Structure 1
Amino acid sequence: MASSGRDRGRIRNAILIAGPTASGKSALAMQLAEKHDGVIVNADSMQVYSVLRILTARPSDAETAGVPHRLYGHVHPGDVYSTGVWLRDVNDLVEDGVFEGHRPIFVGGTGLYFTALTMGLSEMPDVPSDIRERWRWRLNEQGSARLHDILLRLDSAAAIGLRASDGQRIVRALEVLEASGKSILFWQKQRSEPLVDFTTADAVVVEPDRQWVIDRIEARFDAMMTQGAVEEVQSLLALRLRPEVPAMKAIGVPEITAALSGNITFEEAKVLAKAATRQYSKRQSTWFRNQFGPEWRRIRPG
């Protein structure tokens, strides 16, 4: 059933905290959870993966022992975890009564998770693994521009809305078209009901000063390197995962992998990873600024 707005949802009185990486949103979630007897639910697409606790800045064991945390580190890094799967996992929390007597606090930097939570999710068809693997192989072999040309020929309306460099979304459009015989634009219009009742929610976007967050990014990655980030990447590499899975592209993993291979020094890896984190933070801030309307309060750290 299609949603007509943000006026329905099974989860009431939720606190939604969105923001770029290193903005202090997790600390805010902890403060509010302690104040409101809350349950913190992860809304970050990288913090779902096991193994990568340090590099994805997942909450520490001490933090999770003091306040209930859900949907952190529960996915094998070899799996591809989608927004739809995350939304089903949230629904399972509702079904299991996790929020009964506790205030739900969703915190993270993945904008699509919040959009799905508050506005519903487009119902997508199941894509057989052979179709998915074939298109991903073609992406690696032929590049995104070539696949964009193919999509232009097969589904021009979907292709026009995508950059030729956006390989993941191009592949998604192609595999959905082949699996269902219908454009991904058709499926995107089939939106489910939202889980969160937005009329009762307190939704905030953390908007830190740019230089403040850059300083935190620099200091945090230095700390990660001393806390076991290298060993974490070694454990990940030992799993011999496909290079295209999202966990292998987490910031810090390609850079540290290159250092372990001797292609660059560890100091160079740190410089590259910090630069990638700064760029990612900027993209997140831009997304939240453009996609979240005035119903989201903007706050500064502190």
Structure 2
Amino acid sequence: MERISASMTGGKRAHGAATLIAGPTASGKTALAVEMAVKTGAVIINADSMQVYDVLDRLTARPSASELAAAPHHLFGHVSPADAYSVGQWSRDVEVLLAGPLADRSVIIVGGTGLYFRALEGGLSTMPPVPDIIRQNLRARWQSEGSEALHAELAQCDPSAAAAIGKNDAQRILRALEVFEASGVPLTEHQGKGSMPLVDLEKTRRLLLVPDRGELRMRIAERFETMMAGPAVDEVRHLLSLKLDRSLPAMRAIGVAQIAAMLDGQIEKGEAIVQSINATRQYAKRQTTWFRNQLGPEWERLDRCQPPVYIA
């Protein structure tokens, strides 16, 4: 990877030497990132919204011990599952890294969360901080009143957000209400104000993995079966022991509900595996659609079966 000097973009210092790697789950992003980091000396930064959480290591397919040892990694497993980590928080954490300890390092930002890449490219606004008491009160109300009641309230204070959010999408309803209560300004107004890129877009290489659909489906099945043969069940058992609010993002990681049902005796292990594989395949399909529609021609499409091509 070419070492690129940082530049000023719109009055804000943008990190220069960056490679972005996006793609659906199980497409080989981690292996490619580690391969490139070893060759170039780059540092890897996580861009997957579930891999930020502690406890869920194997279940979220975080890098293995050998991969972590091969290159420096940041923002993996650094958040408690009791917290609702947002794209805004991730963006701020990345900005701190790029402006501070990694300011003079080449970085590889890798993951499957589309909104994280949109934030890197400057497509997200800066959201106001939300006090814990507001977040706690809204989650308590959600537990007692349900999603539809809160959605009706959202329709009054932010009709545009309510129209775009389903009545049962608890996480997004709560987030929109949190922002309104914290700032007095609708979420949609905040979203209309874009932020500056965190990387120099003219000098950043952007790779999108587009694997064969049949191969991806097979890889998803093989990976989850391996997870179930490993520590995934113990990870979910540990997570459940924390007695967390079931609306929290970590509680909705793929495999948690299915393994929880298995531990509760509601379904057999084989059914838990089948349900989790199907849910993962559906998620991969949604990711692929989002990337196809949202990432422009500046993103190089790469079949992971092909050897990666490095910048000389």
TM, length-normalised to structure 2:
0.89
AA in 1 matched with 2:157: L
Range moving further from structure 2, 252-261 or 240-249? 240-249
Matched, 1:30 2:34: yes
- Deviation string for 1:90-112 (max 9, x for gaps)? 12212332252x32101000011
Range moving further from structure 2, 28-37 or 103-112? 28-37
AA in 2 matched with 1:41: I
Unaligned runs of 5+ in 1: none
**How many angstroms does 1:186 deviate by?**
1.7
Could you say if the C-alpha distance between residues 9 and 279 of structure 1 is closer, same or farther in structure 2, counting changes exceeding 3 Å?
farther
Question: C-alpha distance in 2, partners of 1:274/1:283?
Answer: 14
Range moving further from structure 2, 139-148 or 23-32? 139-148
Could you say if the C-alpha distance between residues 244 and 235 of structure 1 is closer, same or farther in structure 2, counting changes exceeding 3 Å?
same
Question: C-alpha distance in 2, partners of 1:7/1:209?
Answer: 42
TM, length-normalised to structure 1:
0.92
- Match of 1:212? 215
Range moving further from structure 2, 205-214 or 180-189? 180-189
Percent identical pairs in the alignment equals: 51
- Match of 1:116? 119
Structure 2 residue matching 1:15: 3-state secondary structure: strand
Unaligned runs of 5+ in 2: 1-8, 306-312
AA in 2 matched with 1:18: A
- Match of 1:224? 227
Q: CA RMSD in A?
A: 2.0
Range moving further from structure 2, 90-99 or 194-203? 90-99
- Match of 1:97? 101
* Paired residue total: 297
Q: 1:233 pairs with 236, 251, 254, which one?
A: 236
Question: C-alpha distance in 1, partners of 2:207/2:167?
Answer: 33
- Match of 1:289? 292
- Deviation string for 1:24-56 (max 9, x for gaps)? 111111121122211111100111111111101
Output aligned runs, 1:30-109, within 5 Å. Answer: 30-100=34-104, 102-109=105-112
Question: C-alpha distance in 1, partners of 2:236/2:29?
Answer: 25
Matched, 1:156 2:148: no
**How many angstroms does 1:260 deviate by?**
0.8
Whether the 8 Å contact between 1:47 and 1:56 is mirrored in structure 2 is yes
Question: C-alpha distance in 1, partners of 2:304/2:49?
Answer: 22
- Match of 2:194? 191
Matched, 1:262 2:260: no
Q: 1:274 pairs with 274, 277, 281, which one?
A: 277
- Deviation string for 1:211-264 (max 9, x for gaps)? 110000000011111111111212222222222211111111111111111111
